[in-house]
């Protein structure tokens, strides 16, 4: 037949595969391998007799052309049955392409009408159970009708006669051009051996050349089908040339991109070798490219005071840096790490001021009151002065907002002569902010503590950890756990930062934390800190703070520093009581700012401002009073009692309202109350039921009346045991019809035995009662010590009743 035998040698298989992939064909795009004929001119076998009806073999990803030999792996059941049936008979099968190669099980509508009759040259059963056939295209045909669809396709076909190749110069030019284009593509494709172009040039039959090149063309299957369907060989050659031109342009573009990339790589390699040569030359001359920077680092290191471990780490880092070229990525990582080590103040400390009187004077000048904190700082300085060295305490200031916790940290630093650092922890969620990132990460940096020490150049500053109770805790990390090491005096002398990769001594740092709600801090962290409670300010304290600090500050801010604007104590008291309701002084500061803005406007418009402001002026500027104590007079009715509460914002007062209605003795609680508060109401009711005769209460009332207890401001959650005595008094008032004494407040926990237990937050609660204009307060006898700690001037005009039992409470409260 003049064709290469089906059983190929290794060399022939390799050449066949490479040629099958010319025109940029990828292995994934086909599952066949074209076989090269040794004598394509001997094509007598192509003119065989073709029956009118033959089995059909659909191909998913290729088109078979006459004369071309292909090995095909058959996988579909229908196809295997069709091949086996054909192989038993005349070994002829109709090969047609699928319109859509993604269809797994094609129907009649999915098959092309024109295909190629092929002879099965060889059928091979594979070890894995598959079937591989080698087929040779014989002649084109058109499907006239599908006669059978199961178990395989069988069709009635009509043979399409092939046109004789034209014998004119024009067609010869077409053939020569096709050979040249194919040879150019082979030349541009590195995966195709150069022998392939020689084989192509030796194909003499024009028709076979067109069919063979078309079969190997790396183009869409629809284009190949168009080539097969064209009856005139000249038209087929013309379309093939267009497709080859397109593939040649693509091959040239790919080759250009590849060469450009290779050129860039060659350029980088050239630069690298030149850099290595330059490095060798400089070493011969007595220095290299980065020797100057390394020498400067070593010079700084000689003058540095640091621990032995840090010194050894620096030495190893320098040795590593000397072996690296500045262009390598790790050079900057190592360089930045060593630069941090040099910048950190390892054993550099500022000298503390041991003048205790001067320190106390500085604290008094910056803040009014706060005697507990001032005494604690003076004690710390006293011990430091006597001993010469001690671990710094870990202090935590807990109190309502606006009382000066944050500014007190700077004042303490000034008093003892240390550098000051403020770290805001509110909303912090990444523990790397504390411990740092590992230096191998891109953009890695040390933690905020080491960054701050690097900035202030001192290892014993005052570090204020602001809002420590508002640290975040989610899937990204738990910074409060990272702070356990920082705030433990027994551990922080060996604090480990991930970026530094070495221990750093934080034991000389004076850490001060601030918080509004101590319960939000995790227990292990609370245990490491010395807590100092800061209460809210009394009216008298606020007046002094306004005169000493707030008013001068606002005058300076509003350009009225040189003016003689003054406010009397009466005017300031009016602003505090009628326009603010807070434990701190932030709202007072804002009201003073509003007043001075008005005075600045007067100064700008009229050239002068009023110097002595009166109560009437305040009302004209700020408007009508926002808060009033009249509510405590009008609210005096049976079943209503006034309680005292503690919040993170300071002390506050709340009403307990009780109402009776016909029913079955049910207790109803409203006002957004917590479980502890609900239990206090149940305890109070049970106590009154069990002691009804003692208080001359009708026992039938508990069976016929429903009791409804409501605490106003229902949108605000409320909880805690301190409202127990207030609830009991309100229920007793409603049941007896006796009113609660006016301007009376109370707080305390109750028991079923009739005892009154102590509660916390007494100073805040008492100051809240004073702000509200209340005159008398009922407290547990054990809370008397807490009242004694409050300055007598701040609670002037308030009468305290100390009780031990609930009977005493009712005797004092009901009129």
Show the tokens assigned to 81: 């049955």
Angle between helices 206-216 and 233-285 (to 10 degrees): 50
E strands present in 444-572: 462-466, 495-497, 502-504, 510-515, 530-533, 566-567
Q: 312: exposed, middle or buried (C-beta count within 10 Å: 0-12, 13-18, 19+)?
A: exposed
Is residue 374 part of the annotated active site? The answer reads no
Q: What is the CA radius of gyration of the chain?
A: 48
CB 778 within 8 A of CB 745: yes
Which residue of the set 214, 583, 680, 722 is catalytic? 722
CB 186 within 8 A of CB 192: yes
Which residue of the set 78, 405, 763, 765 is catalytic? 765
Give the whole-angstrom CA distance, residue 494 versus residue 504: 5
Q: Is 86 helix (H, G, I), strand (E, B) or coil?
A: helix
Strands 612-613 and 640-647: unpaired
Element (H, E) at 10: helix 10-20
Q: Which residues contact 737 (CB under 8 A, 6 or more apart)?
A: 638
Which of 537, 534, 502, 496 has its CA nearest to residue 515?
Answer: 534
Q: 807: exposed, middle or buried (C-beta count within 10 Å: 0-12, 13-18, 19+)?
A: middle
Is residue 722 part of the annotated active site? The answer reads yes
Could you tell me the CA-to-CA distances from 690 to 676, 678, 685, 701, 727 in Å, in that order? Answer: 21, 19, 9, 13, 16
Any alpha helices (H) in 61-154, and if so which ranges?
77-88
Element (H, E) at 555: helix 551-557
CB neighbour burial string for 124-159, b if at least 16 within 10 angstroms, e if fewer: eeeeeeebebbbbbbbbbebeeeeeeeebbbbebeb
Q: How many CB atoms lie within 10 A of CB 483?
A: 27
Q: 471: exposed, middle or buried (C-beta count within 10 Å: 0-12, 13-18, 19+)?
A: buried
Please report the DSSP string for 672-716 in residue order.
SB-HHHHHHHHHHHHHHHHTTTTTT--TTHHHHEEEEEE-S-TTS
Name the residues annotated as catalytic.
722, 765
């Amino acid at each position: 037949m003049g064709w290469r035998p089906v059983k190929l040698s290794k060399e022939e298989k390799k050449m066949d595969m490479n040629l099958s992939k010319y025109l940029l064909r990828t292995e994934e795009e086909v599952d066949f391998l074209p076989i090269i004929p040794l004598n394509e001119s001997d094509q007598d076998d192509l003119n065989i007799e073709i029956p009118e009806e033959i089995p059909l073999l659909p191909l998913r990803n290729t088109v078979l052309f006459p004369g071309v030999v292909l090995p095909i792996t058959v996988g579909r059941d229908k196809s295997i049955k069709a091949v086996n049936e054909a192989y038993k008979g005349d070994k002829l099968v109709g090969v047609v392409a699928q319109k859509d190669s993604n269809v797994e099980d094609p129907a009649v509508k999915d098959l092309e009408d024109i295909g190629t009759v092929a002879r099965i040259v060889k059928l091979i059963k594979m070890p894995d159970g598959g079937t591989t056939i080698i087929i040779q295209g014989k002649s084109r045909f058109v499907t006239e009708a599908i006669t059978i669809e199961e178990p395989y396709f069988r069709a009635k076909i009509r043979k399409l006669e092939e046109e004789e190749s034209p014998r004119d110069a024009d067609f010869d030019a077409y053939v020569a051009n096709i050979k040249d284009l194919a040879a150019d593509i082979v030349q541009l494709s590195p995966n195709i051996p150069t022998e392939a172009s020689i084989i192509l040039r030796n194909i003499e039959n024009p028709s076979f050349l067109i069919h063979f090149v078309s079969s190997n063309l790396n183009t869409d299957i629809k284009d190949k089908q168009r080539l097969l369907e064209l009856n005139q060989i000249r038209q087929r050659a013309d379309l093939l040339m267009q497709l080859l031109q397109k593939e040649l342009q693509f091959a040239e573009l790919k080759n250009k991109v590849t060469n450009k990339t290779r050129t860039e790589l060659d350029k980088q390699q050239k630069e690298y070798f030149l850099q290595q040569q330059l490095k060798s030359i400089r070493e011969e001359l007595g220095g290299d490219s980065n020797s100057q920077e390394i020498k400067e680092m070593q010079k700084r290191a000689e003058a540095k005071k640091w621990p032995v471990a840090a010194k050894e780490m620096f030495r190893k880092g320098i040795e590593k840096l000397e072996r690296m070229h500045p262009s390598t990525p790790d050079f900057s990582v190592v360089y930045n790490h060593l630069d941090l080590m040099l910048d950190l103040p390892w054993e550099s400390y500022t000298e503390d001021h041991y003048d205790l009187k001067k320190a106390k004077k500085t604290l008094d000048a910056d803040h009014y009151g706060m005697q507990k904190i001032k005494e604690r700082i003076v004690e710390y300085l006293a011990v430091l002065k006597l001993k010469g060295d001690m671990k710094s305490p870990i202090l935590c200031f807990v109190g309502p907002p606006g009382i000066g916790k944050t500014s007190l940290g700077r004042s303490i630093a000034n008093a003892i002569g240390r550098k000051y650092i403020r770290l805001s922890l509110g909303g912090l969620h990444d523990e790397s902010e504390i411990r740092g990132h590992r230096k191998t990460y891109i953009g890695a940096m040390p933690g905020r503590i080491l960054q701050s020490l690097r900035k202030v150049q001192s290892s014993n500053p005052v570090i204020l950890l602001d809002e420590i109770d508002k640290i975040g805790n989610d899937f990204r990390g738990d910074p409060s756990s990272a702070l356990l090491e920082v705030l433990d005096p027994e551990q922080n002398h060996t604090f480990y930062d991930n970026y530094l990769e070495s221990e750093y001594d934080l034991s000389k740092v004076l850490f001060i934390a601030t918080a509004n709600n101590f319960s939000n801090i995790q227990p292990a962290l609370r245990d490491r800190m010395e807590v100092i409670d800061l209460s809210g300010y009394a009216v008298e304290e606020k007046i002094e703070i306004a005169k000493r600090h707030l008013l001068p500050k606002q005058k300076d801010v509003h350009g009225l520093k040189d003016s003689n604007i003054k406010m009397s104590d009466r005017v300031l008291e009016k602003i505090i009581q009628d326009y603010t309701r807070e434990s701190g002084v932030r709202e007072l500061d804002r009201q003073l700012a509003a007043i001075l803005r008005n005075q600045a406007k007067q100064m700008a418009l009229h050239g002068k401002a009023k110097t002595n402001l009166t109560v009437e002026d305040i009302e004209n500027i700020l408007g009508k009073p926002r808060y009033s104590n009249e509510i405590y007079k009008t609210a005096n009715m049976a079943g209503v009692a006034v309680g005292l509460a503690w919040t993170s914002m300071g002390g506050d007062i709340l009403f307990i309202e009780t109402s009776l209605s016909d029913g079955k003795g049910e207790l109803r609680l409203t006002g957004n109350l917590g479980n502890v508060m609900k239990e206090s109401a149940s305890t109070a009711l049970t106590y009154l039921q069990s002691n009804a005769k003692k208080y001359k209460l009708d026992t039938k009332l508990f069976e016929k009346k429903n009791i409804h207890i409501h605490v106003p401001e229902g949108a605000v959650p409320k909880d805690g045991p301190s409202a127990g005595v207030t609830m009991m008094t309100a229920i007793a008032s409603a049941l007896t019809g006796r009113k609660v004494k006016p301007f009376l407040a109370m707080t305390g926990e109750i028991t079923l035995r009739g005892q009154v237990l102590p509660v916390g937050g007494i100073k805040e609660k008492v100051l809240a009662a004073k702000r509200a204009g209340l005159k008398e307060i009922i407290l547990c006898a054990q809370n008397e010590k807490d009242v004694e700690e409050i300055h007598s001037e701040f609670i002037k005009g308030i009468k305290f009743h100390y009780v031990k039992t609930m009977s005493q409470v009712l005797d004092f409260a009901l009129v």
